[in-house]
Chain A
Amino acid sequence: MTVLFAYKLGGLCLFFMGFTALILRSHPLKKIMAVNVMAAGVFLLFIAMACHGRVGVAIDPVPQAMVLTGIVVSVSVTALALVLACRIQETSGGAGSSEGEHPPQGDS
């Protein structure tokens, strides 16, 4: 029970770490990484909640399937976000900075 609680707490901490970094970091790649850490925290909490009783006992398959789905979706979201970040950089020049030093260049 206590070890399971430690896993739950770990999931919460991961979520909050990711959240803080999402707000405090300004580089887009860092932000995407922070979102990934947040997702990992949520998954960890979810699976730990699905363990009834002790660590290591075979658990409910429904949350497992949902977390599996979540991991795949988070990978595709990450890929899309990374391409968007590259695109923003290409058109605006700065790495996610909102300053308008470089006028956006329209290409294709």
Chain B
Amino acid sequence: MNSLSLTLFDCVVLVTLLGLAWQLLATPDLFKAMVLFMSFGLVMALAWVRLAAPDVALAEAALGAGLTGPLFLSALHRLRGTRKGERRQQLDSIEHRGKIEKVTQRTSGRIIYLLLRILFAGLLLTLLVHLATILLHVEYENPGLGVFVAEQQEESGVISPVTAVLLNFRGYDTLLEIMVLFVAVVAVWSLATVRFSEKSGQVSPIQQGVVRILAPLMILVAVSLIWQGTHLAGGAFQGGAVLAAAGVLMMVSELPWLRLIPSLPVRLMLVFGPLVFLGLGVSCLADGRFLEYPGELAGFLILLIELACGLSIGLTLACLFVGGRPVDDLVDRGQLEEGS
């Protein structure tokens, strides 16, 4: 009975996942697609729980559903803002369709278009069926890397195997990943500028009040997630994502003190995590190899790295949400006015 109901649950999750994906890709209304995208992320998190990957589930719920949605929404807001009063941005591919309609008015054009679509669908379907049969018949001879991780777990200094892989055994990957995040912020800042101090003044006082209650709680949850990463599911990425979500909430509700944050500490905080990670990795060179922590200190060092990186990741993601370099201080504003 139990396993039957779980199988049923799996099927419901999968069907919902595929249905949501179809809907969000098919609908011409961009706003609707974004709402569906957020629900898609949440159902994805359920699927991760069912596949016994709680770390991934936490990351997906915080990042995939919690942060990507607002990213899309603010991008849509900006896209609409640049050309007000035109519905062209909201509806997907009207011009494109117009072109196709012109072609398909002729019968020969219509037949060719139809044939092309059938050919494309057929090709994709064949590929899908082939890959599916391969998956069905593939057999695993090796048990994967899990055995080795379990063997070396003692030496890693942490109890959670995923954290051991992320920060000890495959520390290189994680270091590079944090660098990727940093490079993303640098790229975003060099592409666009945002007037951070501009206030709409339209924020409901209830929203501000709720954020004042929620933000400290979220920061608490973030820190506990980072700390919990050493022995349970959680870690720097999940904690950082929750921190970023708290930051996004505060920015969206335009809390007055946010404008007072000077940019230098923000920049320093952005590089703090990567620098700590890199510095500790290099200091391991003294008696060993790069990023190879000494046994007795490993647990402490990993916690230190996670805390520093969690803070930086949170700030990085929040900066990505802002979508450009904030031009707030007087120097920047002067430059901007000179330039224009």
Q: Check if A34 sits within 8 Å of B25, measured CB to CB.
A: yes
Do A57 and B149 form a contact, CB below 8 Å, given A6-B10, A9-B132, A82-B323? no
Q: Which of A1-27 contact B (CB under 8 A)?
A: 3, 5-10, 12-14, 16-21, 23, 25-27
CB contacts (< 8 Å) of A7 on chain B: these are: 10, 14, 47, 50-51
A-B contact count (CB 8 A): 238
SS of B interface (majority): helix
- Complex Cα gap A21–B79 (Å): 20
Do A83 and B324 form a contact, CB below 8 Å, given A36-B68, A37-B24, A108-B339? yes
CB contacts (< 8 Å) of B192 on chain A: these are: 83, 86-87
Is A42 an interface residue, CB under 8 A from the partner? no
Q: Check if B24 sits within 8 Å of A33, measured CB to CB.
A: yes
CB contacts (< 8 Å) of B30 on chain A: these are: 27, 29-30
Q: A96 CB to closest chain B CB, in angstroms?
A: 9
List chain A positions with a Cβ less than 8 A from chain B. 3, 5-10, 12-14, 16-21, 23, 25-27, 29-30, 32-34, 36-37, 40, 43-44, 47-48, 50-52, 55-69, 71-73, 75-80, 82-87, 89-90, 93-95, 97, 99, 107-108
Sample (26) of A-B pairs whose CB atoms are under 8 Å apart = A5-B136, A7-B14, A17-B18, A20-B124, A26-B93, A27-B92, A33-B37, A40-B64, A44-B44, A52-B144, A55-B6, A59-B51, A59-B52, A61-B149, A62-B165, A64-B55, A67-B53, A71-B56, A71-B60, A72-B237, A82-B71, A86-B75, A86-B82, A95-B88, A108-B193, A108-B340
